[in-house]
Amino acid sequence: MTQDWLSLHRVNMLLSRYVVVLLMHVAFLAVADAAPLQPKKSRRVFFPPNLIKEKLNDGDYNMDGGLFESYVEGVCAQQYGQSGVCSSPCMQKWPDDQSRCIVEGKDGSCICVDPCVVLGLPRYNDFGNEIQGSGCEECVRHKNTKHYMKQSWVILESPVNCGWCGTSCVSADANGPTVLGNDCPDNYQYTVSQCRLQTLNDEDLHGIKTEEPYGGDKQKKDSVGDQANKDKPIGDKVADIAALLS
């Protein structure tokens, strides 16, 4: 009798453990189903920009009264004019979109251009400030080499390799521009991190050298200085003027 009871007790214990494990498994699946799905980070895919159609000839006066600078003055167009061949990395049309030009001249012909030049044009908001991420960052995201194509910041399926020279986007590799005769005597960036760490502009450097504040801090300092002058007694102001004249 005792042995039967012990056997039955062991069976009940095993069944209880099985039920507990089963309930825990069901609970885990319920929580997993209820958890919100995390959206996958999408990467931008290359899409050819809008056609640039020139309406003036090089040297014509534009609406602002200045002289129009045509893409025919670019290094690629000059080489094409001499050899009759638009050599890589220069292009007249995008590889996967042969139906239209990259840049169309006033006469309707396709101008041989450095394709990166039209990809890194800075964009500005209504206040005239450059939109963050345009310009240098937009330019260097275009990579077509295997090493960089795996990077998450690179635009997928881009047919070109671009770098940022000074204030312009050019066809390039890690060492500099790749268009023959197109050197970069200015600061050069090739990755997004380099764009974000690029050296300060001349105005910023001037502010550091002279230790002068800029923007809101400068206005605050000027207003404090004006208030201090207003609070000075007349005698002190006269003494200050005399000191300056002496």
DSSP string of 34-94? HSPPPPPPP--B--PPPPEE--S-TT-B-TTSSB---GGGSHHHHHHHHHS---TT-BSSB
Detail the DSSP E strand segments found in the chain. 52-53, 103-104, 162-165, 168-173, 176-177, 188-189
Other C-beta atoms lying within 10 Å of the C-beta of residue 68:
16
Q: Is a pLDDT exceeding 70 seen at residue 74?
A: yes
Q: Is a pLDDT exceeding 70 seen at residue 227?
A: no
Q: Is a pLDDT exceeding 60 seen at residue 15?
A: no
pLDDT, residue 214, reads 36
Q: Is a pLDDT exceeding 50 seen at residue 116?
A: yes
Mean pLDDT to the nearest integer, 46-60: 90
Burial of 169 (0-12, 13-18, 19+ CB in 10 A): buried
| DSSP at 178 | -
pLDDT band at residue 235 under the 50/70/90 scheme: low
Question: Residue ranges of the domains in the chain?
Answer: 44-199, 200-231
Query: Contacts from 22-31 at CB under 8 Å and sequence distance 24+?
Result: none
**pTM exceeding the 0.75 threshold for the entire prediction:** no
Mean pLDDT to the nearest integer, 78-82: 95
pLDDT, residue 205, reads 43
Q: Which of 163, 142, 160 is nearest to 151 (CA)?
A: 142
Share of the chain above pLDDT 70, in %: 63
Of the ranges 10-24, 35-49, 186-200, the best mean pLDDT one? 186-200
